[in-house]
Every structure is written in structure tokens, then in C-alpha cells.
Amino acid sequence: MKSKQTVVVVGGGFAGINFINRLDEKLFEVILIDKINHHQFQPLFYQVATSQIEPSSISFPLRHIFKNKKNVRIRLAEVYAVNTDTNTIQTSVGEFKYDILVLAMGCSSNFFGNDSINQYALTLKTTYNAISIRNHILQIFEKISADINSREALFNLVIVGAGPTGVELAGAFAEIKKNVLPKDYPRIDFSELKIILIEGSKHTLGNMSQLAKTSSKAYLQKMGVEVHTETMVSDYDGESLRLSNGETIKTKTLIWAAGVIANTLEGIPPEWITKGNRIKVNRLNQAIGSNNVYVLGDMAYMETPKYPHGHPQVANVAINQAKNLAKNIKKITLGKKPVEYEYRDLGTMATIGRNKAVVDFPFLRLKGMIAWIIWMFLHLMLILSVRNKLIIFINWTWAYVSKDTALRLILTDNKK
């Protein structure tokens, strides 16, 4: 009997875990390499950052996910480089040889070359980032209560980027300002607290329908969020934020949600890489120029008649590319004809706050409470474990009834 092929998968995100879960155990040995030991449910990072759910509710240990997969080995490591000539990958725990390499490393925040923003801004790309934002925001509130210097800078919370992440964060902070802070700090007038959302384009939720654009902006403004569109950030030094219109905002809090750039590896041939650091792939997610390197999700740039400029960098694309690739690799191994990937857009959604959301389905546009219920239900169904679904549902139910949570813990090292 022919020995199993070794498939090295880099990245335990949506693409990586869905690919491995559907890969034939009888034909392939899998080595999963990731620098963190858990899968992260990114759509709910903002709820961790705003103290609505616990980090453990949306973080799933990789070894637990694959505990019944006898063909999967997991290595916690930083990946340094790939050598496509020798079919090897270099990591912090040594070299691994592959027959098939699957890159699913996702993306990171794009600061568009602005090093000062990179240095001082908070980002929301990992569970750790979400905890860092939570710690920072809660410490800001404590500093306000102590009435120390830089009061204006403390009272301005600025979010840059009005995509789903930025809109959801702004809405959540607006509800905290209204429902939580007066109870936690009854002697402080938080009417001075400003939540400022800055967007470079004309609209909030610019990639969604006109209904979503206009409704999300109206919801945010009604909740007291200052929305600045067609405005760019030029610089930030940790205290002063400078805008393209010449305005300066004093702030100790800048959360950057304004763009992404695909992660990459040393050793990837330059001719494979295109705009946004993405790797050009064919309709089988095979890197153009290789016969055994495949790229999934945010890293993959695939041109199709429906998507001539590549697919959107969203979870649904990553999940379905992964499922399709798992089937295709088996077909190729067995000498059968693979099936080209075709993206089916199931819709886009964002929640702005309590009873407020917008949903774009291919056949229907919704806003308000119905959209909010749909948003909650679909996100709950995507959570991996039944236990975590139950925990999140209980948290959401309690938060809805009480307009509060008890998760505002500052977790820092006191020795620092």
C-alpha cells in the first residue's frame, strides 16, 4: 500500500481547521503549525474587547479540536521561511518536509506604511489583542475616575475604520457609556466621553448595501457616536491624532480597524505575490507557479469571472475554499478530476448595538431587531462547541435583560 502523503498546514484559523477536518485520514498525514495553540473566532473579538463575553468563549485549543484525528500532529511554532525547491519549511522548532503545503496564515493590520500609528495604535486581530483593548479601556475609565492630567485625551475614544469591526466596536462602546459607566462610576459625568469613528470613504459599512450604509450611520449617530467620513488619519503619537483635514484630536485611545494586509513568508517567490501581499492562485487554490503549494482564505488572490479582483477577505470564503481543497486534494491523489472553486455569497452582516443590526442577504436586505436576531443566531451557530454556544447564549441573555455584564476584569502584570 502506498504511504500517506505529508500535508503541512500553516495556520489554525477558519481555513486551516476546516481543511484538516475534511481531509481524508486514510490518505494524508497532517502537520499543523501555528504560533498560538488555539483557534480564534474573530467575528466576536469586539465583544471580548468591550467586556461582553470571556476570551475562553471564543477560543478553542487546537489539540482539543483535533483530539479524535489520529493523523494530525500539532506544532506550536513560529514559521520563518519556506523553500519550494526542497519542499521544506523552517520553523522555531526545526525543519519540516512536506509533500503538500497549505498556507492559511490569514492577515494582519495594514498601517499603510505609517510607523507611528503602528507603534501606538491598538489592533483587533487576535484574542490577545481583544484582551489588551479591554484592559486599556478599563484602565482609561479608572484614570478618569482619579481625575488625573490629560483629561481630554482620556475622554476621547477613537476608532479608525468603519467596516463591521469598527462599527460594532463603536456601537458597543456607546452602550457601555449609556448603561454601564453611570453604574460603575456614579460620581463621574460621562457626557464628556466621546466615541469617535473615522472612515476614509464616504460611508460606514462601505462594502454593504445602501440600506446598511445609511442605517448603520444613523444608528451610530443616534447612539451618540461622532462619525467622520471622507477623513484620513495622517499621524498619531500616542497623545495627539492628526487628521487629513488639519484637525487634531487629543486621545489616549486609538483602535485601528482600517485595513488588512495578508501575512507572508520568507522564501515565497516574488512573482507569486500580488496586491495586498496576497498570493496568486488558480481556481483550485494552487499557487500559480507551483504544483504542491496551496493558499487559502485571506492570503489567496483568485481571479474569477464573478470576482475579477479577487474574493473578499471574509470567513465564508476561507471556510468554503478549505472544504473544496480538501475534496480536490483527495481527487487529485486518486487520479480524479478536481472541481474549480466558485464563491457563493451568502451575505454580510453587522450589529450596531442592542436591537440594532443590518443584514445583506443576496435576496433580502434587513435592518433593526429582526436583523439583530438573525445576526445573533448565525454567529451562535458558527461557534465550535455546544458548551461555548451555551455560555455565550447565557451571557447574551443576561446582558440583554440586565443591560450589563460582570466581566470587566483588568488583567495585567502588576510588576510592570
**pLDDT at position 1, please?**
46
Strand partners of residue 90: 81, 95
**pLDDT at position 373, please?**
95
Work out the angle between the directed axes of helices 315-333 and 14-21 (0-180°, nearest 10).
Answer: 30
CATH 3.50.50.60 residue spans of the chain: 5-109+260-333, 115-258
**pLDDT at position 416, please?**
53
Nearest CA among 100, 105, 83 for reference residue 23: 100
Residue ranges in the chain whose pLDDT is less than 70? 1-2, 147-150, 406, 413-416
Alpha-carbon gap, residue 50 to 281, rounded angstroms = 37
Alpha-carbon gap, residue 52 to 70, rounded angstroms = 36
Q: Which residues, 6 or more positions from 237, have their beta carbon under 8 angstroms from its beta carbon? A: 116, 120
Alpha-carbon gap, residue 290 to 288, rounded angstroms = 6
Do residues 199 and 206 touch, judged by C-beta distance below 8 A? yes
Q: Which residues, 6 or more positions from 403, have their beta carbon under 8 angstroms from its beta carbon? A: 175, 179, 180, 354
> Per residue in 326-340, pLDDT tens?
999 999 999 999 999
Fold that domain 5-109+260-333 belongs to in CATH: FAD/NAD(P)-binding domain (3.50.50)
Do residues 100 and 5 touch, judged by C-beta distance below 8 A? yes
Distances (CA, A) of 187 to 75, 139, 150, 181, 409: 51, 17, 19, 10, 21
69 backbone dihedrals φ, ψ, rounded to 5°: -100, 100
Alpha-carbon gap, residue 95 to 390, rounded angstroms = 41
Alpha-carbon gap, residue 168 to 43, rounded angstroms = 10
**pLDDT at position 149, please?**
58
**pLDDT at position 384, please?**
81
How many CB atoms lie under 10 A from the CB of residue 345?
Answer: 15
Alpha-carbon gap, residue 229 to 161, rounded angstroms = 9
How many CB atoms lie under 10 A from the CB of residue 254?
Answer: 22
Work out the angle between the directed axes of helices 386-402 and 369-382 (0-180°, nearest 10).
Answer: 150
**pLDDT at position 157, please?**
96
**pLDDT at position 397, please?**
87
In 3-state terms, what secondary structure has residue 338?
A: coil
For 175-199, give one letter per residue: b (16+ CB within 10 A) or e: bbbeebbeeeeeeeebeebbbbbbb
**pLDDT at position 355, please?**
93
CATH H-level superfamily of 115-258: FAD/NAD(P)-binding domain (3.50.50.60)
